[in-house]
Amino acid sequence: MRLLGLWENCSVLEGYSYMCGYCDKEVAPNRGYYCKEEFYREYVIGICPNCNFPTFLAHSGEEQVPPPRKGKSVDHLPEEIDKIYTEIRECYSQNAYTASVLLARKILMNVAVHLGAQEDKNFYYYVGYLDTEGYIPKNSKGWGDIIRKKGNEATHELPDITKKDAEDVLAFTEMLLRILYEFPAKI
């Protein structure tokens, strides 16, 4: 994704770097807009040199909007799975931990179907399919169960999913996607 066009009346920026919340690149913009308050606080809108989208930085970069996505992008994902995975990362970055875990549960179903599982089965079937067909490495079998169990909690239980739970589920999901799609494509 790249925003086409030119930003007008930009100032030269120096000394700012951030992880762009749009394109997932570590950038140091050289153009943007300054706003200085009387108490020497500084606000900046930096223009990403990679995707040309704006990012708001407050208090010398301590606050950022949009925030960087949690986790890393995974290469060679099918379009629909990539879309869900990006949404998981965006939900986590917006502190929407329950939504992030619910989407991680959904992505396992999509991955299983993409890899040959029958549609319209229950979630337990999809995790079992990934396991019995050897898509989940033997010593990583617990990952699918953790995603399944936390997804069930998010769906059926009253307490919200914690940040730590969502972080673990995101890490397991990312690693599983790397094993199933990214690493085989590099061979």
| C-beta separation of 19 from 25 below 8 A | yes
Number of helices (H) and strands (E), helices first, in the chain? 6, 7
Q: Distance between CA 113 and CA 90 in Å, rounded? A: 24
Q: Can you give the pTM of this predicted structure?
A: 0.77
CATH fold label, 79-186: Four Helix Bundle (Hemerythrin (Met), subunit A) (1.20.120)
Q: pLDDT digit string (tens) for 15-35?
A: 889 999 999 999 999 999 988
Tokens of residue 98, six digits: 């329950």
Q: pLDDT digit string (tens) for 44-70?
A: 999 999 999 999 998 766 789 999 889
Q: Distance between CA 144 and CA 17 in Å, rounded? A: 36
Low-confidence ranges of the chain (pLDDT < 70): 1, 39-41, 60-61, 141, 143-145, 148, 152, 155-156, 158
| C-beta separation of 127 from 148 below 8 A | yes
Secondary structure of residue 10 in the 3-state scheme = coil
